[in-house]
Every structure is written in C-alpha cells, then in structure tokens.
Copies of this chain bind each other. A is one copy, B any other.
Amino acid sequence: MNSYRKELWFNIPARRGFINITPEVQEALRDSGIQEGLLLVNAMHITASVFINDDEPGLHADYETWLEQLAPHAPTGRYRHNLTGEDNADAHLKRQVMGREVVVAVTQGKLDFGPWEQIFYGEFDGGRRKRVLIKIIGE
C-alpha cells in the first residue's frame, strides 16, 4: 500500500467564497502515482468545507443565499460562541451543512467521477490563510 499527502493553501479576501480545486486534486493524484485506492480531501479548519457539486455560478449564489438563511451571520450577538470575541459562529454552522470532507474513489489513476462532479473549497470565514489536506492511499 502506498500513501501520499499534500496541503493546499488558501487566503480568500472575502468572508465567504467557493473555489474549484478539482485541478489541484487531479495534479496531486498524478503526482502520487496511485492507480487504485481512496482519496480524502478535507478542510483542516473548522469554518470551511470541502464538498462536491456543480461548477455553476448561479448555484453558488443560491448556496450563499440559502446558507445565510439557515445560519445568518448577523446579528452576531445571537450566538454564544461569539462571546469569545469571535464573530464567526455562523461559519461553524454553515460548514456542518456543506460538510468537512469528501472521499473519492481512485480508478485507473483518475478521480472516479460522474459527469458533473467537481470538488470545491468552501470558505465561510475568510481573510486568513487556511489549508486543505489531500491524502491518498492505494496502489
């Protein structure tokens, strides 16, 4: 069994945003040389997500609106977490809806994807450097 590890770094200036990281993940998979196995991609920070969905800007605008309805940022005083001096409690909630990680099958050296699957980094508390972890195991 072989394993491979890589970190991706992000610094999104806005509070929230989505970035398609599929090319970076594909490059990591090529670097690994692994042909058959499982690939994990996870946010290493707890106010961010990694998820798989469609690379369509209208949909991303819908996610933004919808997540803000489910877990509004303001008024920040509605969240006890923000009594710690943070203003990012909503980001911890939004991340639970969108998820921390994805696990992807590796088949014949490729991400074993359906026709529209793309991997995104979802930032809910930007303006600082954050990391995503790629870990691949297989042969």
Contacts and interface: CB of A to CB of B under 8 A. Distances in A.
B99 A42 contact: no
A56 B42 contact: no
Would you call the interface of chain A mostly helix, strand, loop, or mixed?
mixed
Contacts of A96: 51, 53, 63, 97-99
Q: Specify which of A82, A100, A104, A114 lies most central, judged by the most chain B CB atoms within 10 Å of its CB.
A: A114
Interface size class of A (residues with CB under 8 A): 35 or more
A136 to B, nearest CB: 9
A92 to B, nearest CB: 6
Which 6 residue pairs are nearest across A and B when measured between Cβ atoms? A44-B114, A105-B135, A58-B80, A59-B81, A3-B36, A58-B81
